[in-house]
Structure 1
Amino acid sequence: MNGSQDEGSAALDTRVHAILARAWASLSPQSAMLAWLDWASHMAVSPGRQADLAGLALSQAAQLAGYLRECLMAGPGAARACVEPPAQDRRFDAPEWRGWPYNLWHQSFLMAQQWWAEATRGVRGVERHHEKLAAFWARQWLDMLSPGNHLLTNPVALRRTAEEGGANLARGMLYLLDNQRRRLTGLPPEGAEAFEVGRDLAVTPGKVVLRNRLIELIQYAPATGQVRPEPILIVPAWIMKYYILDLSPHNSLIRYLVAQGHTVFCISWKNPGAAESDLGMEDYLDLGFRTALAAVEAIVPGSRVHATGYCLGGTLLAMAAAAMARDGELDRLASLSLFAAQTDFSEPGELALFIDESQLALLEAQMQDKGYLRADQMAGAFQMLRSYDLLWSRVVNEYLLGERRPINDLMAWNADATRLPARMHAQYLRRLFLDDDLSEGRYPVDGRPVSLGGLTLDTFCVGTVTDHVAPWRSVYKLHYLCPAQLTFVLTSGGHNAGIVSEPGRPHRRYQVLARPAGGHYIAPQEWERTAPAHEGSWWPQWQAWLAARSGPAQPPPGMGAPARGYAALCDAPGTYVKEK
């Protein structure tokens, strides 16, 4: 037999895989089982490694016994901890965890974390992807068993219960029931109704000047009497709604740029359904960026464009710019700016844990069944990447302590999720994440491969310190993919909060260093050690960089260009952004 499969049997397999995906929250059980089998079978034939781990366990037991002895002699508060949690782990910060027996429980838990972190790495013969998966799933199980997650082993929750006579647990039960009701009925989180798109969010004045099957293009109204002649075209990710860049008036990047005298255009992607299941990456390039760029050039004729991309929109923009360089059209752009956007996917961070053949087979079957991937079908993976922050801290605060965290504009935006067309998402995961075709010069645009080595535009690139979606060292790899003058910024915060980092926001800092065109490569460790650090927002740094590559101010262009087919269709934020 060959590897072909007839239509009926293929449809049956697809259906079964789709059912399996629903049962396992879109996560492949085979992928996890293969990782554990690889790890366990190689551990079984590694007596030296077993001896090392046994020695570590005995050493930890001795440390714990010494800690217990010190607690009995000097008192729990005076005893020196055996192990301190990582800086970002706040589970055991409360002073109640220093009391007996909770001190012993949380120290035992932290030691178990240390032991499993050591046990799941360095086993000879284990495939690297399986090693990472085994470590990841070990962390998930340990996080679930943390003494902080359970009423009887959490001293803070027990004290609150005693003080309130159990009222906190009653509130927690009501919150649990309400959360389940909202999840089952598709309602947003409690408090999200206070943030309405077009009323509270995405309120920067503007007009929709283009609409097609995939995008609406928004042109924002000028806020100054004179503007820079080169417009800015923003390409946001379609895995999220564009108004992450136009949140509340005080933290809107788009409003900030307009106030600094820039003419700003932004793509608003359609929220796709079954009718858009056939849209692929080429459609996002043609109906998206290329169509928008042509409209901007018609509305602001004779000016080059500052092209800006965020997240997956930045990846698409890099593809488009590489194709323009290949075809001799790069002079249409004045500069390139990429925010938290990967172009090399060889080390994409923990998100790669959920991208292998087994996982993709499950996702593709699930998408083929509906024609698209719902946002909640991706939520499980993203939630587990930050299981403490996104899952267990909520369990403790809401259900044990009876405290519901007030929702803010960023959280309301995060709950306003989008879908992904089946064809596009499969191409994206396979060709970029799994095969890394873009960085290796194999990704085709218009039937011919593109190379990032052709990018010679001045480029501004931003990475964020705690990004779990596009780790900054992965974003940084653009340094050895293209020879352009490259200004790299590393800012505090994560994938979203690091970009939404308005001037005046406290506890913000960034590093910045520019590499000249054709300059020598600097490894990320050396860059981090030598790049000057600054307090505050990186936005003014970028705005000054844009201004240095722009011409003298002049009167603003009109809103749209009716004579060229770009009449104002409706007020911003448009209609696509409101699609559910």
Structure 2
Amino acid sequence: MTEPRKTAFNSILKDFAENVGKFYKGADVLAGIRDEDVDVGTTPKTLVMRRDKVKLFRYEPTVKRTVETPVLIVYSLVGRYTIADLQPDRSLVRSLLAEGVNLWLIEWGKLGRAERWLTMDDYVDDYIHEAVHRICRETGHDKVTLLGICQGGVFTTCYAALHPEKVKNLVLTMTPIDFHADIDDPEPSHGLLNIWTRALAPEDIDRMVDALGVIPGELMSLIFSLMTPMQALTKYNVELFDIAGDKDRLMNFLRMEKWLADRQDHPGAAGRQWLKELYHENRLVEGRFELLGRIVDLRAIDVPVLNIFGLDDHIIPATCSKALGGQIGGTDYTEVPFQGVGHVGVLVSSKSQGKLAKSIVEWLQPRDG
């Protein structure tokens, strides 16, 4: 064997031996991790109110308050709020508490077929409305700041339009407002979810909801995976293999996988509104979306608005979020774009840690009087 070929062969053997060693080390680390070790949503909080499956929590303060007006986090029905409190060093909740925010949270509970009749009307005008009133009674404030995330941002936007007297400020993160704004987006990877959803036949949506009562969580997980197919294919046999021997990185990976796997069913009636009236017909931005017989008029929102979005978000394109600026009635409107992060990355990526909470608090403080 010539010297160059011998050297190359030895290098291959060395890499193989290192990979085998990495595999066995990773297997030992994995074997020592139990399901209860992969903990998410662990920031201490107190249950204040329960209504059906919906719970209202107050987070325990960790420092002196710098923002007195209560801030209510409203997350999506599509996933679980725990992505906002994934782990101590990747937690919007902990970061806001560390900045002195008076923080509250709505948890929708484990949704299933029993919730099939619930509409967006119920979530906005019943659950959120009751939570806001309870927070005001508990704190002595007459208004709250709403912090809506993704679909939860649509809920809070609707609430602010219908009940402006109860809203001090509106903070939105990764929130779609114009569900057709991506049509003119030049980036081909943006808006794949919008394209797929608009391609659904309305009668097929009706058939699914009528038959199942819900939009299954498993279906939504599959759809999100198909939007990033290479990542879905390689994360268990490439990424996991590379990090398996490093327990800290492995725990980061497993917590994210636990959140991804914990995708609940979406109530059918609300899902029908979400897919047909918003994704298909774009009623919200066109001033035709109704809740409990009232038009949700975005021009009625005259409170300060902070709009945060990721410029590389392939689920909620930035153009769909930015559309809010030209729709509201108020003039105190601020945008904070995050460069180089996607949908979930706005909350949990290393690029956004600390920056997201600081941006929110620095904006809130002068509007807290």
2:333 is matched by which residue type in structure 1?
L
Q: Which amino acid aligns with 1:386?
A: T
Structure 2 vs 1, CA of residues 286 and 508 (structure 1 numbering), >3 Å: closer, same or farther?
Answer: closer
**Shift in alpha-carbon separation, 1:496–1:395, aligned structure 2, 3 A:** closer
Match among 267, 283, 298 for residue 437 of structure 1: 283
Question: What corresponds to 1:379 in structure 2?
Answer: 221
User: CA 1:369/1:229 → structure 2, altered by over 3 Å: closer, same or farther?
Assistant: same
Structure 1 residue 277 displacement after superposition: 0.8
Offset of residue 160 of structure 1:
8.7
The equivalent residue for 2:212 is: 370
| Deviation of the 1:360 alpha carbon | 4.4
Question: Which AA in structure 2 matches 1:498?
Answer: V
Q: Which residue of 2 is the match for residue 302 of structure 1?
A: 141
Distance in 1 (CA, whole Å) between partners of 2:322 and 2:200 is: 29
Alignment of 1:315-334 (within 5 A): 315-324=154-163, 330-334=164-168
Contact 2:65 2:102 in 1 (8 A): no
1:231, 1:312 → 2: CA distance?
Answer: 21
**What amino acid does structure 2 have at the position aligned with 1:377?**
L
Match among 172, 195, 205 for residue 353 of structure 1: 195
Using the alignment, how far apart are the partners of 2:106 and 2:171 within structure 1? Answer: 15
| Bigger shift: residues 537-546 or 361-370 | 361-370
Other-structure match for 1:479: 325
User: Structure 1 residues 545, 192: closer, same or farther in 2, change over 3 A?
Assistant: farther
Deviation at residue 372 of structure 1 after TM alignment: 1.5
Residues 406-465 of structure 1, C-alpha deviation per residue, up to 9 Å, x if partnerless?
A: 324333222221111111111110010000000000001220212112211111010112
Distance 1:228 1:403, change over 3 A: closer
1:229/1:303 contact within 8 Å kept? no
Paired residues of 2:40 and 2:82 also in contact (CA < 8 A): yes
Q: Distance in 2 between matches of 1:280 and 1:404?
A: 43
Deviation at 1:508, TM superposition (A): 5.1
Query: Is 1:422 the equivalent of 2:261?
Result: no
What is the distance in 1 between the residues matched to 2:305 and 2:75? Answer: 17
Residue 451 in structure 1 maps to residue 263 in structure 2: no
User: RMSD of the alignment, in Å?
Assistant: 2.9
Check the 8 A contact 1:306/1:336 in 2, yes or no. Answer: yes
Partner of 1:498: 346
User: Is 2:203 aligned against 1:340?
Assistant: no
Report which of the two has the higher share of strand: 2
3-state SS of 2:176 partner? coil
Deviation, 1:284, is 1.1
Q: 1:191 to 1:390 in 2, by over 3 A?
A: farther
CA drift at 1:353: 2.3
- CA shift digits 1:229-252 (9 cap, x unpaired): 311111111111112112212222
Q: Deviations over 1:70-126 (max 9, x none)?
A: xxxxxxxxxxxxxxxxxxxxxxxxxxxxxxxxxxxxxxxxxxxxxxxxxxxxxxxxx
Contact 2:55 2:109 in 1 (8 A): yes
1:217 aligns with 2:56: yes
From the superposition, tell whether residues 360 and 344 of structure 1 become closer, same or farther in structure 2 (CA, over 3 Å). Answer: same
Q: Please say if 1:394 is aligned against 2:212.
A: no
Answer 1 or 2: higher relative contact order, Cα 8 Å, separation at least 6.
2
Secondary structure, in 3 states, of the residue corresponding to 1:466? coil
Secondary structure at the residue paired with 1:231?
A: strand
CA deviations 1:309-332 (Å, max 9, x no partner) are 0000001111111112xxxxx232
Please give the secondary structure, in 1, of the residue aligned with 2:263.
coil
What runs of 5+ residues in structure 2 fail to find an aligned partner?
Answer: 1-11, 183-190, 245-249
- After superposition, the Cα gap between the structure-2 partners of 1:429 and 1:226, relative to the gap in structure 1 and judged at 3 Å, is closer
Would the aligned equivalents of 1:479 and 1:486 in 2 still touch at CA under 8 Å? yes
Q: Is the 8 A contact 1:161 1:167 kept in 2?
A: no
Residue 239 (1) aligns with residue 81 (2): no
Q: What is the identity, as a one-letter code, of the residue corresponding to 1:409? A: R
1:546 and 2:342 aligned: no
How far did residue 373 of structure 1 move? 2.2
CA contact (8 A) 2:92 2:356 kept: no
* Aligned partner letter, 2:192: E
Decide which moves more: 373-382 or 312-321. 373-382
Residue 191 of structure 1 deviates from its aligned partner by 6.3
Q: CA deviation at 1:192?
A: 7.8
In structure 2, C-alpha distance between the alignment counterparts of 1:276 and 1:354, rounded to whole Å: 25
Measure how far apart 1:337 and its partner are: 0.3
Aligned equivalents of 1:454 and 1:250: distance in 2?
Answer: 38
> Contact (CA 8 Å) 2:299, 2:327: kept in 1 or not?
yes
| 8 Å Cα contact 1:230/1:305 also seen in 2 | yes
CA distance in 1, matches of 2:90, 2:15: 41
Of stretches 434-443 and 404-413 in structure 1, the one that deviates more from structure 2 is 404-413
Per-residue Cα deviation, 1:454-491 (whole angstroms, up to 9, x for no partner): 21111101011221111112111112112432110111
Q: Which residue of 1 aligns with 2:310?
A: 464
Aligned residues: 334
CA distance in 1 between counterparts of 2:44 and 2:241 reads: 40
Tell me by how many angstroms 1:261 deviates. 2.0
Alpha-carbon offset, residue 354 of structure 1:
1.7
Larger radius of gyration: 1
1:202 aligned onto 2:41? yes
Secondary structure, aligned partner of 1:427: helix
Q: Shift of the alpha carbon at 1:539?
A: 2.2
